[in-house]
Amino acid sequence: MSKRRRLPPGAKWVTLPSGAKRVEIVLDAGMNPATGKRRQVRRRFESEADATKAYARMSADVSAGVLTTRSTKTVEVVCRDWLAGRRVRPSTLANYADVLKPLRAAHGAMPVQRLEKAHVDALVTSLAAGGLSMSNGRPRRPWSTRSLNLMLTVLQMVLEDATRQGWVVRNVARYVDRVPQTKREMQTFTEADVRKLLKAAESDRLEAAWHLALSGLRRGEVCGLTWDDVDLEAGELNIRHTRILVDGVALGSTPKTAKGNRALPLPDSLRRVLKRARKRQNEDRLRLGVDYLEGGYVVADEGGSPMHPETLGLAWGRLLDRAEVRHLRLHDARHTSGTLMHLRGVPVAVIAAWLGHADAAFTMRTYVHSQDDALRSAASVLDVVTSA
Q: What is the mean pLDDT of residues 261-276?
A: 92
Q: pLDDT of 299-325, one tens digit each?
A: 999 999 999 999 999 999 999 999 999
Secondary structure of the chain: what % helix, strand, coil (to 5)? 50, 15, 35
How would residue 1 be classed by pLDDT, with cut points 50, 70 and 90?
Answer: very low
Whether the CB-CB separation of 34 and 85 falls below 8 Å is answered with no
Separation between Cα atoms, residue 123 and residue 129, nearest integer Å: 10
φ, ψ at 309 (rounded to 5°): -55, -40
Separation between Cα atoms, residue 204 and residue 81, nearest integer Å: 47
Q: pLDDT of 69-104, one tens digit each?
A: 566 789 999 999 999 999 988 888 989 999 999 999
Task: Enter the CATH code of domain 191-331.
Answer: 1.10.443.10
Sign of CA dihedral 31, 35, 36, 39: negative
Kindly give the interhelix angle for 117-129 and 145-164, rounded to the nearest 10 degrees.
160
Q: pLDDT of 108-153, one tens digit each?
A: 999 998 899 999 999 999 999 886 565 556 677 899 999 999 999 9
pLDDT score, position 97: 94
How would residue 219 be classed by pLDDT, with cut points 50, 70 and 90?
Answer: very high
Residues in Cβ contact with 53 at an 8 Å cutoff, skipping those fewer than 6 apart:
none
**In the predicted structure, residue 363 carries a pLDDT above the cut 50:** yes
In 330-357, which positions are buried (b, 16+ CB within 10 angstroms) versus exposed (e)? Answer: bebbbbbbbbbbbbeeeebeebbbbbbb
How would residue 230 be classed by pLDDT, with cut points 50, 70 and 90?
Answer: very high
Whether the CB-CB separation of 357 and 334 falls below 8 Å is answered with no
Separation between Cα atoms, residue 380 and residue 268, nearest integer Å: 33
Q: What is the mean pLDDT of residues 31-60?
A: 73
Whether the CB-CB separation of 190 and 134 falls below 8 Å is answered with no
State if pTM tops 0.75.
Answer: no
**In the predicted structure, residue 156 carries a pLDDT above the cut 80:** yes
Q: How far is CA 208 from the centre of its chain?
A: 28
Task: Enter the CATH code of domain 75-175.
Answer: 1.10.150.130
**In the predicted structure, residue 62 carries a pLDDT above the cut 80:** no
Residue with more model confidence, 380 or 130: 130
Residue with more model confidence, 45 or 32: 45
| Mean model confidence pLDDT for the chain | 85
Q: pLDDT of 184-217, one tens digit each?
A: 777 889 999 999 999 999 989 999 999 999 999 9
- Write the single-letter amino acid at 138: R
Separation between Cα atoms, residue 356 and residue 280, nearest integer Å: 29
pLDDT score, position 3: 47
**In the predicted structure, residue 106 carries a pLDDT above the cut 90:** yes
